[in-house]
Amino acid sequence: MPWFGKRGAAQQNPGERVQQDMTALAGAMEQDAQLMLRVKEGDEVSFQLLLERHRNGVVYFVYRMVQNQAVAEELAQEVFLRVYRSRQTYEPTAKFTTWLYRITTHLALNWLRDKKNERHQQSLDVEVEEGAGPRQVEDKAATVEQRMVRQARLGEIRRAIEALPEKQRAAVMMHKYEEMDYAQIAGVLQCSESAVKSLLFRAYETLRARLAHLSRGVQE
């Protein structure tokens, strides 16, 4: 009966729930690797399952990096195309998600570098004109209702993150929004855990300095 099931769950020890969650997570990661090995053997259904499991996460991660939904969708498609093309050389030496986000981060950083080069080729007048728009919106937002103020503040945070060096930005995206640990981020960026800690320390210090006025505004 459902009532007995709920009662049993309520009496479960918190430590047991944590252990069950960790076991479920380990099972999911193992399942990813098994699915990819089946893809390697030519199983198209397994590839579709991997696509369904991870596509939304990849799109969201890329969007956080590039701030463009259409580009995020396009790059996510390219990510899984590369996963499929690499199926014959896949070996489960690392977590599937580490390998997946390594491909994702590489493509997103390449797009950002190309975009940066395009901006450098534009005239200074266009750059200044484009940069003036958001500031005017922010100034107006300070005079309207609280919801608009919050949106303006979130916009400032987003721009501050966008202004970080590419690897720092990628590390922050994985740490803050994907909740990856140092080891996972190191696997994606192909560096040491100490290098990841250094990247995150410098990134968060920069963000604190650039956004200090926001916390002062709240206190006032």
Per-residue confidence (pLDDT) for residue 129, from 0 to 100: 40
Residue 159 buriedness (CB in 10 A; 0-12 / 13-18 / 19+): middle
Helix boundaries (H) for the chain? 2-10, 14-40, 44-66, 69-85, 96-121, 124-141, 146-162, 166-172, 182-189, 193-210, 212-219
Quick check: do 11-121 and 163-220 share a fold?
no
Per-residue confidence (pLDDT) for residue 124, from 0 to 100: 37
| Structural class in CATH, domain 11-121 | mainly alpha
User: So where are the chain's domains?
Assistant: 11-121, 163-220
Per-residue confidence (pLDDT) for residue 125, from 0 to 100: 39
| Structural class in CATH, domain 163-220 | mainly alpha
Q: How many Å apart are CA 177 and CA 208, to the nearest integer?
A: 17
List the chain residues with pLDDT less than 70.
Answer: 1-29, 116-147, 149, 215-220
Nearest to 57 by CA among 91, 96, 90, 93: 96
HSE at residue 74, side-chain half, CA atoms within 13 A, is: 8
